[in-house]
Structure 1
Amino acid sequence: MPNNTPIILIDGSSYLYRAFFACPPLTNAKGEPTGAIFGVINMIRSLMNQYNPTHIAVVFDAKGGSFRNEIYSEYKATRDEMPENLRPQVEPIHTILKAMGLPLLCVDGVEADDVIGTLARQAEKENLEVLISTGDKDMAQLVSDKVTLINTMNNTVLDPQGVIDKFGVPPEKIIDYLALRGDNSDNIPGVAGIGEKTAQALLTAFDSVKDIYDHLDDIEKLSIRGAKSLKQKLIDNQKDAELSYLLATIKTDVALDFTNEQLLVTDLDVNKLVELFAYYGFHRWQKELIAGNFLKQQKLTATDINNLSLFSQESDTVKDKIDTDYQCILTHEQLDDWLAKLTNCQQFAFDTETDNVDHIHAKLVGISLSVTPHQAAYIPINHQYLGVPDQLPLNEVLTKLKPILENPKIKKIAQNAKFDYSVLANYGIHVQGIAYDTMLESYVLNSTERHDMDSMANRYLHLKTITYNELTKVDKKQVTIDAIEVEKTTQYAAEDADVTLQLHQKLWPELEKDQKLTKLFTDIEMPLAIVLADMERTGVLIDPKQLNEYSTELNKKMLEIETELQFLAGEKFNPSSPKQIQAILFEKHQLPVLKKTPKGDPSTSEDVLSELAEQYVLPRKILLYRSLAKLKNTYTDKLPLMISPIDHRIHTNYNQIGTVTGRLSSNDPNLQNIPVRNEEGRRIRQAFIAPQGYKIISADYSQIELRIMAHLSQDQSLLSAFANDKDIHRVTASEVLSKPEADVTAEERRRAKAVNFGLIYGMSAFGLSKQINIPRKEAQFYIDRYFERYPGVQTYMEETRQLATQQGYVETLSGRRLYLPKIISGNAIEKRGAERAAINAPMQGTAADIIKTAMIKMSEWIKSQPTGSIKMVMQVHDELVFEVKEELVSEYSVLIKSIMEDCYQLSVPLKVDVGVGNNWDEAH
């Protein structure tokens, strides 16, 4: 065996878990989990390409326990069971590794560590170099002049000096070190009260655990913190120390029926690997295999080359592009041919190309169509660059397409249908029969993924599409699509329609596997897209004069605060500059540094300044300045500039896929972020006005998430309070404090409100204490009493955490899913965050489903009313805003309330508060 490359021994069991938690939750085309497979194979492949070994072994733990479990039944007892999504990935990993020509070892009765330890010591005796790939610290005991550890997650290598640098003791003392301090991951007890530093200090003074116990009287002489009490700790826990030493010791004499000589790397089974990679969706690896560069030692035989050549010809998945038939429509005959195809088909995909992403003002540049996969057409109708071939007249094309696009019997498929619907509406075409939106299909399947066409084509179809930026970059500058040659645009635009069709054919069968998801798409998300498009097109009226006046006021206030800040700081500085704020607060005034940025600078984030503001005036004034500057820059200055010259209204864009929970978001402008509870926010809302002869009606769901919590938890106290239309916060204060509702003070109600809303967002006692400014112990009392009085809520929360851990997702009442891959993370912070999301998502997501359903019902009802009598103009959080003719306000207020309260059935009644005014602030 050659001495120039080490024998590589891989701790496969360590790799499994580390890859599972480190990699994203990948799946193949069949929805089977593949993240751990990708992670394990990728790490081993990288290791092999780096060292090019001739001998290697991947060692896994055998099923069942080891001899350590017989010695100590609690060994590794604190570890969770193997995650459900990891279990089905183990066998595929073994299969792929075998096809890679790598020996797999698994020995009953011992752990992978023991097999690796035995092989390492055998190699040492033969004067061979060994490289152990693992992330487990107990393996450090094996390190020697011949044995080195590598952690492939961070590419760190440990030789004898590296062990000393990391653990504070040499390799030969690692067992003693673990015997003293224990190992939480393996549930090795160690000596109670001895941690990392004390263990290091003791083993610097003594040779071993045995030496320590032989010289117990010498310990109190040591200059170790707590030295006087150490002797008694060691005496009291001697049995645990001896047990821990035994558990931490890696066996190096396991009886093996093979030697290092038999760990020879054999040839890859290239054809088997290509087949496996195709199945699991690792298409880049497929191509590398076929090109002969998956591994440095890869060799293709003549048979391999012949088989792979046939595979390349037959398999779409390894081609960069599939043969396509994309046609540019420039003649009447071509157009008529396609019109006939569309008229006679049951469904087709379409896409619009425009000169602008603002759907209200966008001009149509062309339309693409696809009836059959890999075949599509592009109709250019408004390209502007010189030398453009004759295009068919825009009016003629639209006139001929209009009957087809408006025919509800012919189903249409789009990617972001809301945009295409709105653009065509600019030209008097009201598209009907939009049955599918691939962006929404993907969103309903898994809201945590990316839903743009390029990402989806890559993920679902394994295609690299032409991106808009690639198409429109000319001489390093971005231009609009109407300035691009028709031939290039045809490939891009036709591909969009074709890929949209293919994506639908891929995604729809997946949706149909789950009746709840299918219903969520067909009953809520798809019809909502058109409702949103109509609402966006309607827009909302604002008074620019009010906003301009308020901008002037804000500017004056900001100048006054700047003067105060300069006085408080003792010098001039820019309150919008984080660097200058850092210098003033933390260098000049020496305020405590609460948090640092990734670069190590003191943080000036809002949460940091808010905490400092509780004690210091300067950060309090900086926060006030920032809040006014944000209002001015985001709203009072910007909103008047966003008024459309077409209808003199503002048109926001509602993002249907902007949140993972199903909530809508909005941008340009962001209506969701206008403050509602302070004077500044109300002043902005006053500028949202009703037209002459109309009033604003605001209809807002009251405490909707708490009502959903009552339904989900079926807690009898909550159900009773809502059924009797009681003040839920007053009831909670009464329950928690054991006093009559009539005696609850305003402050006690405020605290109960914080508890009610805080707990559904997973707030801790620490968070509650900060929010309502009470001691942490008192906050814990509130939480404990809350769960005593509402036991159903606590049961629901615990069961939800368990369910999320088991299945990896939670659901709303409508079946909307939120996947939570970090629910099984080994990182405690990530896991707690995922658990909080698991509890909150069913409530927040169900609230989203309810208001979306209400919007659809309201839209249907509005269409039945006289034209112009009522318009739905905004959706913000749990609120819908309408413009209503003055003479119909009383009648419609009652009807709006009734429709919204009756649109969704819970165990408790939904309640809608309705307000009326000349502006949004008056109405809300």
Structure 2
Amino acid sequence: MSDTAQAPQSPDRRTFAVVDGNSLMHRAFHAVPPTMNAPDGRPTNAIFGFLNMFLKMIDAFRPDGVAVAFDKGKPRVRMEMLPQYKAQRPPMDPDLRTQFPMIKELLQKIEVPILEAEGWEGDDILGTLARAGEAAGCDMLLITGDRDMYQLTTEHVKVVGTKKGLSDVQIMTPETVEDLYHGITPELVPDFYGLKGDTSDNIPGVPGIGPKKASALIAQYGSLDEVIAHADEVKGKMGENLRAHIDDALLSRKVATIQTNAPVELDFEHTAFPAYDAQMLAEALGALGIMSIQNRFLALLGEGGAAGAAPSAFELQSPIVVNGDAAESLEAALAELSRAVEAGEWVAATVDDDKEADALFGLTRTLWVAAGGKLLAFEEPSGASLSPHSASLLAAAGIDGANGLIAGVLQYLFETGLVASPDIKALLHELSPIDSSEPELMDPLSVDPKRIFDTVVAAYLLDSVRSDFGDAYIADTYVGKALPAAQGEEGAADDVPVAAARSVAVALAAVQPLAKALEEQDAADIFQGIEMPLVPVLASMERTGMYVDPDRLHALAEGLGGQIDELAGRIREMAGDETFNIASPMQLSHILFDVMGLPTKGLKKTHRGYYSTNARVLEELARDNEFVRLVLEYREKTKIKSTYLDTLGALRRFDGRVHTTYNQTITATGRLSSSNPNLQNIPTRSELGHTVKTAFSVAPGCVFLAVDYSQIELRLLAHLSADEHLVAAFNEGEDFHAETAARVFGVPVDEVTPQLRSRAKAVNFGIVYGQQAYGLSQSLDIPMAEAREMIDRYFEAYPGVRTYLDRTVAEAKRTGYAETMYGRRRPIPELKMRNPAQRSFGERTAMNHPMQGTAADIIKIAMARVARRMRDEGFRARMILQVHDELDFECPEDEVEALTALVREVMEGVVELRVPLIADASSGTTWADAK
């Protein structure tokens, strides 16, 4: 709900809300991605959206009673007036139709009256109740997205209209209706529709008269009847149309008039909300698999009704502030902290500082902690040291304050407590700084993964296609409370905590409901067994970083800069010495299609009106055009230079290394991503990418060791499909791509040419990614018919693969998601979208996720096991990089053989498949040498 959504209420009058169920369900269905399903597989996205909007309406208006109106059967009442009424509307989506009986059943269980009457629309039921409620002395709120309902507004009847999605609403009163329609009062709204019609409902109106002309005519003459009476005065084509369609206008007004005599009744005096039973509510929501919303309903019951709801720290307004040597507050904070730790309670923490934007340091850093019912603030002024008394208080609590207050408390929490945070890795870096030249106070790998809980990672696992897992989302979805304003935000009181304090309150309140949701979605094992053990490993890798040779970077940048200048000269010369910016898509488009006259058939224009020059377009044109090939080469080289060669040097820290950040919550597949700098995106197969990698080296006396899985996704396809021929090809240790070529092209293996093997390789990997004939034809530059025949032959050779992929897509369509061997789910809303291209993308995603997602799970498990074995067995080597299926190490020369054996043993032993997992190792003095 928007902040302005507060309907004025009259004293001593009950407020009653009536919801247009059909309107709200339609809006919810299209606003919430179709990824939600009940345990029995039925879709629930519209129900979830409906309930969200319903609860926001309750929070905003606090009505004394609520009812929901639904259409029932064909709109006979209006069809008798206008047979073609709504005839043009397409049939309801089957997934939406399925959810209407479900929402009605749920509403009945939570004691919300449902009103419907055969042949009558929800609009007319709302109209009937609006007038009946007003007569009964109630202030009526009509919750609907239909603008024709504005005619019902009075001093005591307001229309709450959804403007966008489910959250942005406007409250319509007689005054706002008049403002909106430029003088059209509520009682004149039917007249207004009589003139302009309504295409969405097939109401004809008068041809050529739109909203502006309709409101102008009514404003001039006073009503539709008066407009008709003065029709002869209306000039031009509009006047002709008006005089020819008087009957249409009168009929349209009649059809657009909301009826107030529908055969429904409601006892306004004795209908109240909330009136449901907590147990019945839990059962009803559980049956639909929508438990995340339960606490919001329970909170409405007040004290005693919310038993079992998540504890909330949102009410904490006055933190215990430990500032400098305030011994009394320090003692109180430590007492609460010790109590929570000893009781085995989760404690949430985050670190904040007061530094200005772009500043290196602030004056004060604060460790915010939410423990039990208390909010604690451990403030540490820059450069300040603890007094002997404060140090003794810390020591008495078992906390070593030698490295400062914040470090001491954090180390105590990680060693003895249960720590929750929206960013556990950031907390670990307080003790294990990213720059390895700074002293490390605690090895992240010493942290027990079972005693950390990253709330953002948990929320990501539950909905991996989301991009935002901020406090507002987690509070609303899992805690069941709207996020309160923090200090400095609009609407915040003077005494509320800062955003960081609110963040730990949200994290603490979210632990239990997130843990419960993980259990219900069968994701708890992934969270506890894969993701949390990985957090300390990533923190350790980020601290180690990768050594970059600045001299080598400079030399590469200078050399590439010269090549780029030479290319630019050749490109401009071939363009007829035209002066243009090669990096500008608009200017390049002008040169290609206007000056050089290259064909534009099949190309689309951008929203700015020029033909696209994206990579796909240029690659197609480059096949027959040297100029375009040079442009592509220019693009690649300038991108490499600007992204890596010009920036990596500046990113080096005092230890001479660059330290990428690994992200666990970005990709929908479960793969890790890398940023600032992105070290996973350096082109692996291009000469330029290989050149960049020569700048990445290791410490003296060490080598760069790379170990990667061989064809892991194809091996997973063999395992998951259980195709006997595919399994046999891997188990017999043959050249897999040659074996596929032999089976697809019908030749003996020893007669497979390099070209046939290359084509078979493209088909093998294309199948894993759900590639269709068009994609294969593009990648191999062959006709579509030939590509289709190759794919058909592949499935004839490996029939189990076709069966498996078909089954996987069908299951994903049923459930709304695909999952890995470990149960990691990827929602695929595209499977239920109407656009064929989006549905096709959804099908390809469903085919690929079990392989790519499982590969991501396997490499994560391997990383955690390798890192801990290296630590336990005393290796000096360090894991420094992960690039999808590859793990890289900085390894002392005397440990290479032992480390290679350890890493291969772990990587190949993560899981037992129908085919062997193979890890290949290689080493060198630079990254380029190793790979």
What is the TM-score when the length of structure 1 is the normalising length? 0.70
The equivalences for 1:643-662 within 5 A come to 643-645=652-654, 647-662=655-670
Per the alignment, residue 479 of structure 2 pairs with: 461
Q: What per-residue deviation string (whole Å, max 9, x for no partner) do you get for residues 8-38 of structure 1?
A: xx99889867753453358799999764247
Per the alignment, residue 336 of structure 1 pairs with: 331
Question: Which of 412, 417, 421 lines up with 1:414 in the alignment?
Answer: 421
Q: Distance in 1 between matches of 2:558 and 2:419?
A: 50
Per the alignment, residue 534 of structure 1 pairs with: 540
Per the alignment, residue 799 of structure 1 pairs with: 807
The 1:587/1:422 distance shift into structure 2, 3 A limit, reads same
Q: What per-residue deviation string (whole Å, max 9, x for no partner) do you get for residues 877-918 of structure 1?
A: 110000111122223222222221112222111111110100
Q: Distance in 2 between matches of 1:573 and 1:489?
A: 55
Matched to 1:889, the amino acid is V
Aligned residue pair count? 732
Question: Which of 469, 478, 482 lines up with 1:451 in the alignment?
Answer: 469
Deviation at 1:616, TM superposition (A): 2.6
Deviation at 1:334, TM superposition (A): 1.9
1:36 aligns with 2:46: yes
Q: Distance in 1 between matches of 2:300 and 2:805?
A: 56
**Aligned partner of residue 793 in structure 2, secondary structure:** helix
Matched to 1:585, the amino acid is L
Per the alignment, residue 632 of structure 2 pairs with: 623
**Aligned partner of residue 909 in structure 1, secondary structure:** coil
The 1:764/1:403 distance shift into structure 2, 3 A limit, reads closer
Question: Which of 528, 535, 538 lines up with 1:522 in the alignment?
Answer: 528
1:565 aligns with 2:583: no
Matched to 2:380, the amino acid is I
The 1:441/1:798 distance shift into structure 2, 3 A limit, reads same
Matched to 1:436, the amino acid is F
Deviation at 1:406, TM superposition (A): 4.4
Q: What per-residue deviation string (whole Å, max 9, x for no partner) do you get for residues 596-649 of structure 1?
A: 22444321221122222223333322221111111001000000111002x111
CA contact (8 A) 1:551 1:632 kept: yes
Matched to 1:584, the amino acid is I
CA contact (8 A) 2:621 2:628 kept: yes
Per the alignment, residue 352 of structure 1 pairs with: 351
1:674 aligns with 2:682: yes
Q: What per-residue deviation string (whole Å, max 9, x for no partner) do you get for residues 112-169 of structure 1?
A: 99x99xxxxxxxxxxxxx9899xxxxxxxxxx979955539xxx976474999xxxxx
Per the alignment, residue 368 of structure 1 pairs with: 368
CA contact (8 A) 1:439 1:452 kept: yes
Q: What per-residue deviation string (whole Å, max 9, x for no partner) do you get for residues 259-285 of structure 1?
A: 98435797879975666899789999x
Q: What per-residue deviation string (whole Å, max 9, x for no partner) do you get for residues 63-91 of structure 1?
A: xxxxxxxxxxxxx9999964798366442
CA contact (8 A) 1:350 1:367 kept: yes
The 1:399/1:807 distance shift into structure 2, 3 A limit, reads closer
1:151 aligns with 2:200: yes
1:381 aligns with 2:371: no
Deviates more, 1:574-583 or 1:523-532: 574-583
Q: Distance in 2 between matches of 1:617 and 1:277?
A: 74
Q: Distance in 1 between matches of 2:733 and 2:567?
A: 45
**Aligned partner of residue 882 in structure 2, secondary structure:** strand
Per the alignment, residue 822 of structure 2 pairs with: 814
Deviation at 1:761, TM superposition (A): 1.4
Q: Distance in 2 between matches of 1:488 and 1:710?
A: 61
Q: What per-residue deviation string (whole Å, max 9, x for no partner) do you get for residues 144-198 of structure 1?
A: 979955539xxx976474999xxxxxxxxxxxxxxxxxxxxxxxxxxxxxxxxxx
Per the alignment, residue 847 of structure 1 pairs with: 855
Deviation at 1:580, TM superposition (A): 1.0
CA contact (8 A) 2:907 2:919 kept: yes
**Aligned partner of residue 691 in structure 2, secondary structure:** helix
Per the alignment, residue 326 of structure 1 pairs with: 319
The 1:79/1:845 distance shift into structure 2, 3 A limit, reads same
The 1:726/1:489 distance shift into structure 2, 3 A limit, reads farther
The equivalences for 1:100-139 within 5 A come to 103-105=116-118
Question: Which of 819, 824, 835 lines up with 2:832 in the alignment?
Answer: 824
1:436 aligns with 2:453: yes
| Percentage of identical aligned residues | 33
Q: Distance in 2 between matches of 1:26 and 1:277?
A: 29
Per the alignment, residue 892 of structure 1 pairs with: 899
Per the alignment, residue 671 of structure 2 pairs with: 663
CA contact (8 A) 2:319 2:376 kept: yes
Q: Distance in 2 between matches of 1:710 and 1:747?
A: 24
CA contact (8 A) 2:763 2:791 kept: yes
The 1:811/1:491 distance shift into structure 2, 3 A limit, reads same
Q: Distance in 2 between matches of 1:669 and 1:760?
A: 29
**Aligned partner of residue 319 in structure 2, secondary structure:** strand
Deviation at 1:512, TM superposition (A): 2.7
Per the alignment, residue 611 of structure 2 pairs with: 602
Deviation at 1:555, TM superposition (A): 1.0
**Aligned partner of residue 550 in structure 1, secondary structure:** helix
CA contact (8 A) 1:701 1:911 kept: yes
**Aligned partner of residue 644 in structure 1, secondary structure:** coil
CA contact (8 A) 2:38 2:44 kept: no
Question: Which of 726, 746, 752 lines up with 1:738 in the alignment?
Answer: 746
Per the alignment, residue 218 of structure 2 pairs with: none
Deviation at 1:356, TM superposition (A): 7.9
Deviation at 1:539, TM superposition (A): 0.6
What is the TM-score when the length of structure 2 is the normalising length? 0.69
CA contact (8 A) 2:669 2:826 kept: yes
Deviates more, 1:804-813 or 1:341-350: 341-350
Deviation at 1:309, TM superposition (A): 11
1:756 aligns with 2:764: yes
**Aligned partner of residue 826 in structure 1, secondary structure:** coil
The 1:887/1:579 distance shift into structure 2, 3 A limit, reads same
Q: Distance in 2 between matches of 1:580 and 1:391?
A: 67
CA contact (8 A) 2:111 2:275 kept: no
CA contact (8 A) 2:475 2:483 kept: yes
**Aligned partner of residue 329 in structure 1, secondary structure:** strand
Per the alignment, residue 238 of structure 2 pairs with: none
CA contact (8 A) 2:117 2:263 kept: no
Q: Distance in 1 between matches of 2:804 and 2:117?
A: 44
Q: Distance in 2 between matches of 1:642 and 1:843?
A: 35
CA contact (8 A) 1:100 1:273 kept: no
The 1:371/1:396 distance shift into structure 2, 3 A limit, reads same
The 1:60/1:759 distance shift into structure 2, 3 A limit, reads farther
Per the alignment, residue 503 of structure 2 pairs with: 496
Matched to 2:513, the amino acid is K
Matched to 2:71, the amino acid is V
Q: Distance in 2 between matches of 1:464 and 1:260?
A: 36
CA contact (8 A) 2:117 2:262 kept: no
RMSD: 4.9
Per the alignment, residue 232 of structure 1 pairs with: none
Deviates more, 1:681-690 or 1:79-88: 79-88
Q: Distance in 1 between matches of 2:507 and 2:574?
A: 60
The 1:651/1:85 distance shift into structure 2, 3 A limit, reads farther
Deviation at 1:464, TM superposition (A): 4.5
CA contact (8 A) 2:459 2:514 kept: yes
Q: Distance in 1 between matches of 2:868 and 2:917?
A: 20
CA contact (8 A) 1:349 1:414 kept: yes
The 1:717/1:582 distance shift into structure 2, 3 A limit, reads same
Deviates more, 1:24-33 or 1:425-434: 24-33
